[in-house]
A and B are shown apart, each in its own frame.
Chain A
Amino acid sequence: MHLLSIDDLHVALGGRTVLEGIGLHIERGEIVTLVGPNGSGKSTLLRAIIGAVRPARGRLVRQPGVAIGYVPQRLAIDATLPMTVSRFLNLPRRHSTRTVRQALEQAGVPGLGRQQVTALSGGQFQRILLARALLEKPDLLLLDEATQGLDHRGTADFYRQIESVRRELGCAVLMVSHDLHVVMRASDRVVCLNRHVCCQGTPERVVASPAYRELFGPDTGDALALYRHDHPRQHDRSVGNPIPPAADTSHLEIAP
């Protein structure tokens, strides 16, 4: 049985169809990335999975007992709400101090427990959100553009953390991302979404498909071709090669 099965899912928001005929299956331990233009329904699909929007039609089945960790796109905590990091991590369920410390270490931000949440940098806060998702001991980790607002190094570091989390917990990861070069590097499977699933498969296959080119334009393809040219090693990714250093990412971003 799949960890998560979605069949023929339709979602309408305010009378407008946002998702139609979505079919998607996620297996334990794989990293799947959703790409697609703005308004293509990526966030809505994640929100349907956590149960925040009700599907108009279709099937969405989690394997029984599957724990979900969710890292939202952004979270604005009102400045009037005093909240330490450790208090935030203990919501809504309390965890032992040791577990909280471990989650902070796993997310790459050890020792931040006593800080006020509102005093954190964007990158630190994203990692706190990750730590909170990890405390749920997720079988499926959902990340909605979790690197929004992070610089190139921060983004690369964040995804490296995701990989190591996947290795340690063996959880599946479903993420929405605009960082196309990261998609190439970090995913087992890419799903290209534009209200419906345009194409899905290994990153190589998706980039080569006409549907993808049509959505993202030829420029994107060039950038990725350049990336492939520059980094032949990425073909060995499946056997667990170390990820190229973060500096490469910023180099990539300025490539034409």
Chain B
Amino acid sequence: MLDDFLVRAALAGLGVALAAAPLGCFVVWRRMAYFGDATAHAAILGVALSLLLSTSIFAGVLVVSLLMATLVSLLSGRGYAMDTLLGVMAHSALAFGLVAVSFLSGVRIDLMAYLFGDILAVGKGDLALIGTGALLVVGLIGWRWSALLTATLDADLARASGVDPKREQLVLTLSLAVVVAVALKVVGVLLIAALLIIPAAAARPFCRTPEAMALLAAAIGAASTTGGLQAAYWLDTPTGPTIVSFAAILFALSSLAGRWRLSR
């Protein structure tokens, strides 16, 4: 079954969608959307560095994303507004990454595959990595769920209940780096943040509890990846962008439905 590239692509997409959903909810709740962007854009620098050092791309991306996320966490609240800081970091990382790639003479790399993903080229090894990464993230977030929620509500409130908000921030940062590394192949660096945010945002109007929102976001993410994959096959369009477009359409429908429910 895994010999069919479409089956592998679908499984890879589902893995990423499941890991991205609960993490994406936290990204939305904590207003970290741009944080996700910055971490993802740093991935291209990771790709360049790992090609330069001939290490595994997954490891390179993971390390650089982690460094980026940690750097942003450290720098926040030191004179610049968070969005300014992230704007600087996200685009600098992308620019440096693209410059670094151009130095790689002799190695021909398909830049588009890293910018927009190449889900149809997912091999069995990639699939194992994506599966492991996704399980790791879902497990980590499931384990820390209550503490993460408390820290998301308010740092001092968490502290008073014995939850260390810095530790929970670290859990999110770590998960974000893993999801970026895992999703690189599926949607590419430019669209990873979309896969985090759009399903969570689309789930919001229908939920009364955080748990429900995470589950519904996972379902919407899964629908987007399988639907987008199918649509890309029929329309012969690039797969990553088609998946994100599919998610965006679901988001539009959900907000219309949410409005309609409110106005009734």
Contact = CB atoms under 8 A, between A and B. Distances in A.
B160 A83 contact: no
A51 B155 CA distance: 11
B157 A87 contact: no
B4 interface: no
A68 interface: yes
Interface string A66-100: 00111010010110111110011001111000000
A181 interface: no
A87 B204 CA distance: 16
A157 interface: no
Contacts of B150: 91-92
Interface in A174-227: none
A208 to B, nearest CB: 34
A93 B204 CA distance: 24
Given A83-B209, A84-B209, A92-B146, A51 B153 contact: no
A146 interface: no
Nearest to A77: B153
A35 interface: no
A52 B209 contact: no
A136 interface: yes
A50 interface: yes
> Size band of the A side of the interface?
20 to 34
B154 A72 contact: yes
A203 B14 CA distance: 65
> Size band of the B side of the interface?
20 to 34
B187 to A, nearest CB: 22
B160 A68 contact: yes
A142 interface: yes
A91 B159 contact: no
Interface string B217-240: 000000000000000000000000
A52 B156 contact: yes
A47 interface: yes
A97 B159 CA distance: 24
Interface string B136-162: 000000000011011011111111111
Interface string B27-50: 011110000000000000000000
A78 B157 CA distance: 15
A97 to B, nearest CB: 15
B146 A93 contact: yes
B25 to A, nearest CB: 8
A116 B212 CA distance: 14
B210 interface: yes
B208 A116 contact: yes
B208 A50 contact: no
* Residue from A52, A68, A75, A136 with most neighbouring chain B CB atoms (10 Å): A52
B204 A80 contact: yes
B37 to A, nearest CB: 17
B128 interface: no
Interface in B64-87: none
Nearest to A50: B160
B150 to A, nearest CB: 4
B153 A91 contact: yes
Given A82-B210, A91-B149, A92-B161, A72 B204 contact: no
* Residue from B155, B157, B159, B210 with most neighbouring chain A CB atoms (10 Å): B157
Contacts of B134: none
A82 B31 contact: no
Nearest to A138: B160
A94 B147 CA distance: 12
Contacts of A47: 156
A70 B161 CA distance: 8
Nearest to A87: B209
Contacts of B28: 80
Given A51-B160, A84-B208, 17 more contacts: A50-B156, A50-B160, A52-B155, A52-B156, A68-B160, A70-B157, A77-B153, A78-B31, A81-B29, A81-B210, A82-B212, A91-B149, A91-B150, A92-B146, A92-B150, A92-B162, A92-B163
23 contacts: A47-B156, A52-B155, A68-B160, A70-B156, A70-B157, A70-B161, A72-B154, A75-B154, A78-B30, A81-B153, A82-B213, A83-B209, A87-B209, A87-B210, A88-B153, A91-B150, A92-B146, A92-B147, A92-B150, A92-B158, A92-B161, A93-B161, A94-B146
